[in-house]
């Protein structure tokens, strides 16, 4: 089932993924508008990812970052949620737009990149370097990070799959950041939780992804910076 899922996914990414040789200009969300009057800036939670984060195929308020934003509001936690997800993006693309994404008072960064690197069989060494650079910059600014792992398609071989998975565990240990081993745990491969493409979560699937992320995000927000892993 997983092999079939990733074969379908690889075909879809090849047909809809953008040209990653050039920096991607995020279409969502729009850059903050300039204001002539100073306003009290809210602390931000930034979700840096690809189409899974952007919520491809879903209404904007049904993406998992938006669902988490609603939970924050319901619990009286006053944060701006920034969805910096761009469809087709790789770790290189995420790194290129990191500085823009980290604009403002960022209190937490969720990094959910790598799926497109794996689908295209890109260099695992380069992927690790890109993610390391993202984590280095976040660390330099004292921003806690939640790193969400992905799985590589099995068609590139067992060695590639294992090395791909190890990138996330190795980096989580090196940088002492919170790790979600697999962003789509329990969702990938389940037709009832995905859209017709068999790739992107449907409304119910996005809710389950939000549950997975929330389980790590909510306690992270309540934890003082010096007590983060």
Catalytic residue numbers, as ranges:
51, 197, 200
Q: Is the separation of the CB atoms in 127 and 120 below 8 Å? A: no
Place of tokens 């930034």: 46
Q: Is the separation of the CB atoms in 107 and 79 below 8 Å? A: yes
* Residue 222: both structure tokens together: 């309540």
Q: Is the separation of the CB atoms in 213 and 180 below 8 Å? A: yes
In angstroms, the CA 184 to CA 64 distance is 11
């Amino acid at each position: 089932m997983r092999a079939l899922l990733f074969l379908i996914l690889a075909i879809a990414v090849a047909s809809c993924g953008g040209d990653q040789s050039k920096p991607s200009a995020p279409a969502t969300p729009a850059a903050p508008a300039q204001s002539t009057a100073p306003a009290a800036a809210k602390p931000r939670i930034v979700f840096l990812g690809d189409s899974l984060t952007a919520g491809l195929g879903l209404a904007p308020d049904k993406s998992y970052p938006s669902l988490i934003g609603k939970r924050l509001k319901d619990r009286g936690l006053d944060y701006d949620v920034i969805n910096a997800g761009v469809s087709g993006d790789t770790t290189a693309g995420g790194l290129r737009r990191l500085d823009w994404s980290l604009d403002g008072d960022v209190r937490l960064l969720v990094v959910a990149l790598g799926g497109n690197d794996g689908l295209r069989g890109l260099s695992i060494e380069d992927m690790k370097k890109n993610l390391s650079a993202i984590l280095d910059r976040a660390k330099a600014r004292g921003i806690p990070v939640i790193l969400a792992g992905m799985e590589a398609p099995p068609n590139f071989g067992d060695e590639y799959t294992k090395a791909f998975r190890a990138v996330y565990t190795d980096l989580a240990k090196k940088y002492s950041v919170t790790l979600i081993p697999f962003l789509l745990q329990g969702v990938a491969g389940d037709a009832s939780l995905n859209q017709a493409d068999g790739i992107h979560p449907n409304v119910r699937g996005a809710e389950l992804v939000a549950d997975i992320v929330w389980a790590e995000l909510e306690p992270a927000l309540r934890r003082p910076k010096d007590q983060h892993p």
